[in-house]
C-alpha cells in the first residue's frame, strides 16, 4: 500500500532520500543496498543469525528502508482488510485500500504535523476495527449465544471508544494551534510540521 498517493500524504518515521537529487552512482549503490538487504533478510528468515548484524548496519545507515520493507501498521491493516473481504476478493481489497487512503488524506489535511499523522493513522485503524467487529457481530445473529453476543458487543464498544478517543485527541491538537509543544517522557514533542 502506498501511503503517499493522496495530496502529498507522508508517513511518520518514513523519510526516504530524494532520489531525484541522486547521481547515477548513488542510485546504483542504493539499489545494490536494497538487494543486499533483501538477501540478508532471506538469510535471517532461514535462521541465519549472522545476517542480523549486517541488516542492523544497513538499517542504521538507511533508516527509511526499515519502513519501506516492513511496516507493522500496514501489515495490521492488511490483516483487517483480509478479515473483512476474504483472501480471494481482490476487487473488494483494492476498493477498501483506496477508501482508506482517501480517508487518510482527508483526515490528515494539508501539511499535517507528525503528531497529526500518527493520530490520522489511529483514526483510520480504529474505524477499520469498528467495521470488522460490526460485521462479526452481525454475522449469523440468531446463532450467537448470549455470551458470544455480549463478547462481540464489548469488542465493538471498545473499538468505538478507541476511535472516538483518537478523533477527540486530533481535534484537541488542532485546536491548540500549529506550534504547540508537549512533554512526553521528559522529551518535548513539537506538534508543528
Per-residue pLDDT tens over the stretch 138-158 = 877 778 888 988 888 899 999
Give the model's pLDDT for residue 68. Answer: 74
Give the model's pLDDT for residue 72. Answer: 74
Entry pTM = 0.67
Domain locations along the chain: 19-61, 72-190
d(CA 151, CA 159): 12
187 sits in which H/E element: strand 187-190
Q: Quick check: 14 pLDDT over 70?
A: no
Residue-wise pLDDT for 49-83, tens only, equals 899 999 999 999 888 888 777 767 778 888 888 88
Quick one: cell of 27? 542510485
Rounded mean pLDDT of 174-187? Answer: 68
CATH number, domain 72-190? 1.20.120
Q: Percent of the chain beyond pLDDT 90?
A: 35
Residue-wise pLDDT for 84-122, tens only, equals 887 788 898 899 989 999 999 999 998 888 899 899 999
Give the model's pLDDT for residue 7. Answer: 42
The full DSSP string for 103-138 is HHHHHH-SS--HHHHHHHHHHHHHHHHHHHHHHHHH
Q: Quick check: 176 pLDDT over 90?
A: no
Rounded mean pLDDT of 164-184? Answer: 82
d(CA 94, CA 144): 31
Amino acid at each position: 500500500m502506498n501511503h503517499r498517493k493522496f495530496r502529498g500524504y507522508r508517513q511518520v518515521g518514513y523519510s526516504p532520500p530524494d532520489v531525484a537529487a541522486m547521481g547515477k552512482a548513488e542510485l546504483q549503490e542504493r539499489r545494490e543496498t536494497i538487494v543486499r538487504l533483501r538477501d540478508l533478510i532471506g538469510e535471517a528468515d532461514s535462521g541465519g543469525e549472522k545476517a542480523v548484524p549486517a541488516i542492523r548496519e544497513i538499517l542504521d545507515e538507511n533508516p527509511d528502508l526499515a519502513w519501506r520493507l516492513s511496516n507493522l501498521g500496514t501489515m495490521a491493516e492488511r490483516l483487517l482488510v483480509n478479515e473483512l473481504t476474504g483472501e480471494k476478493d481482490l476487487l473488494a481489497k483494492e476498493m477498501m485500500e483506496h477508501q482508506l487512503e482517501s480517508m487518510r488524506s482527508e483526515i490528515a489535511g494539508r501539511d499535517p504535523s507528525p503528531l497529526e499523522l500518527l493520530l490520522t493513522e489511529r483514526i483510520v485503524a480504529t474505524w477499520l476495527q469498528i467495521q470488522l467487529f460490526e460485521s462479526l457481530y452481525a454475522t449469523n445473529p440468531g446463532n450467537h449465544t448470549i455470551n458470544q453476543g455480549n463478547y462481540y458487543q464489548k469488542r465493538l464498544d471498545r473499538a468505538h471508544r478507541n476511535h472516538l478517543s483518537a478523533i477527540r485527541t486530533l481535534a484537541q491538537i488542532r485546536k491548540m494551534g500549529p506550534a504547540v509543544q508537549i512533554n512526553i517522557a521528559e522529551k518535548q514533542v513539537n506538534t508543528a510540521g
